[in-house]
Amino acid sequence: MAILNIVKEGDPILRKECRPVGEITPRIIRLLDDMRETLIDANGAGLAAPQVGVLRRIAIVENDGQFIELINPEIIAREGVQNEIEGCLSVPDVWRITERPEKVTVRATDRNGKEFTATGEGLLARAFCHEIDHLSGKLFTDEAVRILSPEEVKEMLG
Residues 88, 140 contacting (CB under 8 angstroms)? yes
The Cα–Cα gap between 120 and 129 comes to: 10
Listed as own residue / partner, the contacts of 150-155 with beta carbons closer than 8 Å and 24 or more positions apart are 153/85, 153/95
The Cα–Cα gap between 56 and 20 comes to: 6
The reply to whether 9 belongs to the active site is no
Residue 39, classed as helix, strand or coil, is: helix
Q: Could you say which of 62, 121, 131, 152 is catalytic? A: 131
Residues serving a catalytic function are: 131
